[in-house]
Structure 1
């Protein structure tokens, strides 16, 4: 749903230096940073879950207990990656 808008912003940021500065100004808003962070978490969780399902297709941890463990691993890894993204977005490093 937001992907076309994000791609539009990326396209505009690559058009010229002026549009890139406008894009940076847009992303300086704390609300936009939070929305970007939530979208990043959604993408990272989806990506990690995709890797989990690829492993399930190879019959790794197919039982109920293995499914619970891999689901927990996906949640933890996606949250850690989101934390790293949050630190970058909010300028810690």
Structure 2
């Protein structure tokens, strides 16, 4: 089989280096909103287990209360609260976009995404202060 000049000049697949691509704030906000939703979905199992254990008996409640004093448990609860805060802020942004706000330009979308990042960061720090 002989290669013709026409076949050699065809467009070939391009390797995309994702580390070189600059994502806009709106794309990062969307990706993080989905990730925080997945984290919250997984957190349901942990939280239901803690609730069921605490409601079994007085000793179950005591064991859950002691668990909250351990550093790994505090980190897990902080991560859950951070995911909840980000998902809440991102959800409010999406509701406002459904009302027609922040849709005028790419800049307004980027600004609203940055506000979500800042609000979630503040809520995450407050959750950390509250836990520790």
Q: TM-score, normalised by structure 2?
A: 0.63
Residue in 2 that maps onto 1:81: 123
Q: Does 1:7 align with 2:48?
A: yes
- Cα distance, 1:14 vs. partner? 3.2
How far, CA to CA, are the matches of 1:65 and 1:14 in structure 2?
50
How far, CA to CA, are the matches of 1:88 and 1:21 in structure 2?
21
Q: Secondary structure at the match of 1:28?
A: coil
Q: Secondary structure at the match of 1:66?
A: helix
Provide, for residues 9-51 of structure 1, a one-character-per-residue CA deviation record: whole Å limited to 9, x for no partner. Answer: 1232234332221111111111211121112111110111000
Which ranges of structure 1 fall in alignment gaps of 5 or more residues?
Answer: none
Residue in 1 that maps onto 2:85: 44
The structure richer in helix per residue is 1
Q: TM-score, normalised by structure 1?
A: 0.87
Max Rg structure: 2
Q: Does 1:72 align with 2:131?
A: no
The count of residues paired between Structure 1 and Structure 2 equals 90
Aligned structure 1 segments of 4 or more residues deviating by more than 2 angstroms? 14-18
